[in-house]
Amino acid sequence: MEITTNDIYQWLEEVKDPEIPVLSLVDLGVITDVKLNGKNVFVEMTPTFVGCPALDMMKGDIVEVLEKRGLKVDIEVSFRKPWTSDSISEKGKAALKTFGLAPPPSAQNLFTDIDILEHVPCPRCNGTDTELKNPFGPTLCRSIHYCNTCKEAFEQFKPL
């Protein structure tokens, strides 16, 4: 049977973000184009953050998963369609929350309304009695918050 780009996207579901293993690259929204020509596949991707150190690992994982299916893979990193946190799928956002990481709110009004960083809903209790502790966290894409109800810290996938 002939391979379609849909198959490629399905196979790419196997490739997870190395720093957030519940999220596939497809759900993360970093795959911006797939083109198929016989056994040659071209994948265009874009990093979440320009300095993301996981990029090379992601590229390696993509090649591995597709070569396993007998394809020849060419990957291009491009900023043609820059990634924003709104590129994360609804399925991806739900997976983040289950993982204990607050999903990003819409990035559209981020910089007119800084409050959306201040009172991020806690992924455990859903309460908004929370505080921003640090716009920078353990990875470039996470910020650190504190929930006054749970009396515990949590992280958020940053809106961008």
Partner 1 sequence: MNELALKEFLYKVADDQLILGHRNSEWTGFGPLLEEDIAFSSMAQDKVGQSQALYEILHALGEQNPDTVAFMRNANQFHNCILAELPNGEYDFSLIRHFLYDTALAIRFEMLSTSAFKPLAELATKIRGELKYHTLHANTWVKQLGSATPESIQRLQKSLEYALPFALGIFEKSPYEDEIIKSGIFAGEEVLKSQWLRKVEEIIAQTKLQLPDTSSMNPVEGGRVGKHSEHLQPLLDEMSEVFKIDPTAEW
Q: What is the DSSP string of the chain?
A: ----HHHHHHHHTTPEETTEEEEEHHHHT-EEEEEEETTEEEEEE--SSTT-TTHHHHHHHHHHHHHTTT-EEEEEE--SS---GGGS-HHHHHHHHHHTEEPPPPSTTTTT-THHHHTPPPTTT----EEEEES--SSTTEEEEEETTTTEEEEEEPP-
Instruction: Put the strands of the sheet holding 142-147 in their side by side order.
Output: 101-102, 152-157, 142-147, 130-134
* Binding test (CB under 8 A) with partner 1, winner from 140, 146, 150, 153: 140
List the x/- string, 51-90, binding to partner 1 by CB under 8 A.
Answer: xxx------------------------xxx-xxx------
Pick from 49, 57, 89, 97: which binds partner 1 (CB under 8 A)?
49
Q: Is 138 in the site for partner 1 (CB under 8 A)?
A: yes
158 binds partner 1 (CB under 8 A): yes
Q: Which stretch binds partner 1 (CB under 8 A): 10-18, 36-44, 61-69, 111-119?
A: 111-119
Report if residue 21 touches partner 1, rule: CB under 8 A: no
List 34's β-bridge partners, or say none.
43
Applying CB under 8 A, among 90, 98, 114, 151 the residue interacting with partner 1 is 114
Closest distance to partner 1 from the beta carbon of 26 (Å): 20
Stretch that binds partner 1, among 15-23, 87-95, 104-112, 145-153 (CB under 8 A): 104-112
Interface with partner 1 (CB under 8 A): 46, 49-53, 78-80, 82-84, 107, 110-111, 114, 117, 133-138, 140, 144, 158, 160
